[in-house]
A and B are shown apart, each in its own frame.
Chain A
């Protein structure tokens, strides 16, 4: 993917330097010159630059990484983490929403139920998947699948990745608000272990709808919050341009949310972001999901539900 890969603006210095090194090496070879000293120096600088660029990402840069067009999506993780995935379709009431996928699969041989939002890799696929923005029938499908899992004692893995629940006329007519509310309501009482992963974008109500669980994991470069930074900027400053400030103010990174005790664990990504190595990203995630499920399997249904409700009751910052 390196040749015509998509680069984010803040990556440009790294990319430019890497290109310059490549050019110099080529020149050295064709002209028979010894540029090894110069190239060595540049490579050192490049490594230094890479470290600086990717180590201390600003919140807005992480938001950009979370939306990187080559970033792995739910199905990319599922194909790498699980086997025997059988996708199930439809909410049994209105239709099948391709922005949400779900079904049964095996994680290290153990059956689980999986749900998650899914976006597309090309224009046609993105449109079919509605850019990963679910309609009510998507949430209702996910809930149906989770209930099915609960009936047969299968733990639930929910992979959250959406910029928002779809804000459209039909979505409102079909009860977007009710669908979201019902999901949270029911997820809070599923009598099986529920592990939630915020994969990339955790956009507001559309995300929390599938985000209620016993363990909340979040990828290093994902964001999670009540509103996207651009929209926040529009409301606060009447322009989309102050998105960096808005991203700072919203405290939406994985480390912010970990500090706020809203997520339980940060899942590391391959250096420079999950898009650089899908296999490694999936392996890193799988390990943590497996660990979380192993701990949760020790608890009874009653303990799980009681702990889950208590976990959410403890969330909030108020004084009395």
Chain B
């Protein structure tokens, strides 16, 4: 079976409903109501305006990977509240609530699987976990995923979705940016392909580390992608007005920081095509000999 056939068979995974509940869903972009079953079949893309509904990390995993190929890694890794941080609520309480809400122990789901038959290491962030913020455990899970990709010679794929660094871990969170960036540089030295998918929203320390370090950077249509949040910028500049399309994926592409805008229903196809073009044989260790 060639990669195309495998991809075709692999991609027939049904996306299970995890985030929105109820029979009808209303699109936040255009207000159009759609029957939930129809949305599921349509990759949670609004049939009226093609707006992308938010979906969970597990939904992305089943959407991207060949059916039943996903093996989760490090599911128990979780943050340990190093600063005993407390604001209006304790961080430990926020962690507990986030675990309940997301069914994850951290803001990222990681694991290995195949896409169109190609071995990949996949990480998907989840905004239901404290806005998908980058904490110590998030960083550790990504680093372990990178090491797994290096050992098995897999392509690395990270689906980003985050408000940025995790305030409750302050400097620990900040250091994850350096930790992940350093490991991604190792991955590149190993000549392994790294693809990022920026989804709505991707901000702060996530954009400013692994989000922008992809060899290839894809983004979902109309996803908000930036470093500083819009409220921060408005407050700082003392203005209510920001340019139209500011920090919208299509405009970020115009400025040169995204390779392609890819609709969710095309994501897997595009990624498999890229892997097949760039690293078809599980990433050859040595560059091909010069002719």
Q: Which residues of A contact B (CB under 8 A)?
A: 165, 167-169, 171-178, 180-182, 184-186, 188-189, 204-205, 207-209, 211-212, 224-227, 231-232, 235-237, 249-252, 256-257, 260, 262, 308-309, 312-313, 315-320
Q: Are A176 and B77 in contact (CB under 8 A)?
A: no
> Which residues of A are found within 8 Å of B3, using beta-carbon distances?
none
- Let me know if B87 is at the binding interface, CB within 8 A: yes
> Which residue in B87, B140, B175, B183 is a CB contact (below 8 Å) of A262?
B175
Q: Are B174 and A208 in contact (CB under 8 A)?
A: yes
Q: Are B179 and A315 in contact (CB under 8 A)?
A: yes
- A296: min CB distance to chain B, Å: 17
- Supposing A226-B167, A237-B87, A252-B170 touch, asked if A317 and B175 sit within 8 A by C-beta, the answer is no
- Supposing A249-B83, A260-B82 touch, asked if A175 and B256 sit within 8 A by C-beta, the answer is yes
- Supposing A181-B213, A318-B136 touch, asked if A250 and B178 sit within 8 A by C-beta, the answer is no
Q: Mark out the residues of chain B between 245 and 274 whose CB falls within 8 Å of any chain A CB in the assembled complex.
A: 246-247, 255-257
Q: Which residues of B contact A (CB under 8 A)?
A: 74, 76-83, 85-88, 135-137, 139-140, 143, 165-167, 169-179, 181-186, 189, 204-205, 207-213, 226-228, 232-233, 236-237, 242-243, 246-247, 255-257
- A227: min CB distance to chain B, Å: 6
> Which residue in B143, B178, B189, B237 is a CB contact (below 8 Å) of A208?
B178
- B6: min CB distance to chain A, Å: 33
Look across to chain A and name the residue whose beta carbon is closest to the beta carbon of B166. A226
- A294: min CB distance to chain B, Å: 24
Q: Are B171 and A249 in contact (CB under 8 A)?
A: no
Q: Are A319 and B80 in contact (CB under 8 A)?
A: yes
> Which residue in B169, B182, B189 is a CB contact (below 8 Å) of A184?
B182
> Which residues of A are found within 8 Å of B79, using beta-carbon distances?
317-319
Q: What's the dominant secondary structure at chain A's contact region?
A: helix
Pick from B176, B213, B228, B242 the residue with the most CB of A within 10 Å: B228
> Which residue in A168, A185, A224 is a CB contact (below 8 Å) of B237?
A168
> Which residues of A are found within 8 Å of B209, using beta-carbon distances?
180-181, 184
> Which residues of B are found within 8 Å of A180, using beta-carbon distances?
177, 208-209, 227
Q: Are B170 and A227 in contact (CB under 8 A)?
A: yes
Q: Are A313 and B143 in contact (CB under 8 A)?
A: yes
> Which residues of B are found within 8 Å of A257, using beta-carbon distances?
171
The CA-CA distance from A171 to B227 in the complex, in Å, is: 9
Q: Are B257 and A175 in contact (CB under 8 A)?
A: yes
> Which residue in B140, B174, B257 is a CB contact (below 8 Å) of A205?
B174
Provide a sorted-by-A list of 22 A–B residue pairs whose CB atoms are within 8 angstroms: A167-B233, A171-B227, A174-B255, A175-B257, A176-B228, A177-B227, A180-B227, A181-B207, A182-B213, A188-B178, A205-B204, A207-B174, A208-B178, A224-B171, A226-B205, A227-B167, A252-B170, A262-B175, A313-B182, A315-B172, A317-B79, A317-B80
- B143: min CB distance to chain A, Å: 6
- Supposing A167-B227, A317-B79, A318-B136 touch, asked if A211 and B178 sit within 8 A by C-beta, the answer is yes
Q: Are B255 and A251 in contact (CB under 8 A)?
A: no
- Supposing A177-B208, A226-B169, A320-B74 touch, asked if A309 and B237 sit within 8 A by C-beta, the answer is no
Look across to chain A and name the residue whose beta carbon is closest to the beta carbon of B141. A318
The CA-CA distance from A172 to B174 in the complex, in Å, is: 20
The CA-CA distance from A159 to B187 in the complex, in Å, is: 28
- A257: min CB distance to chain B, Å: 6
The CA-CA distance from A309 to B79 in the complex, in Å, is: 21
> Which residues of A are found within 8 Å of B175, using beta-carbon distances?
208, 262, 312, 315-316
| Besides A236-B87, A249-B87, A316-B175, 20 new A-B residue pairs in contact (Cβ under 8 A), listed by A number | A168-B228, A177-B211, A181-B208, A184-B209, A188-B182, A205-B174, A205-B208, A207-B174, A208-B175, A208-B178, A212-B178, A224-B174, A236-B167, A249-B86, A262-B172, A316-B137, A318-B80, A318-B136, A318-B137, A320-B76
- Supposing A165-B227, A251-B171 touch, asked if A226 and B165 sit within 8 A by C-beta, the answer is yes
The CA-CA distance from A68 to B137 in the complex, in Å, is: 36
Q: Are A309 and B228 in contact (CB under 8 A)?
A: no
> Which residues of B are found within 8 Å of A174, using beta-carbon distances?
255
> Which residues of B are found within 8 Å of A186, using beta-carbon distances?
185
The CA-CA distance from A211 to B256 in the complex, in Å, is: 26
The CA-CA distance from A316 to B227 in the complex, in Å, is: 22
Q: Are A169 and B182 in contact (CB under 8 A)?
A: no
The CA-CA distance from A237 to B87 in the complex, in Å, is: 8
The CA-CA distance from A180 to B177 in the complex, in Å, is: 10
Q: Are A318 and B208 in contact (CB under 8 A)?
A: no
- A252: min CB distance to chain B, Å: 6
The CA-CA distance from A173 to B178 in the complex, in Å, is: 23
The CA-CA distance from A205 to B167 in the complex, in Å, is: 12
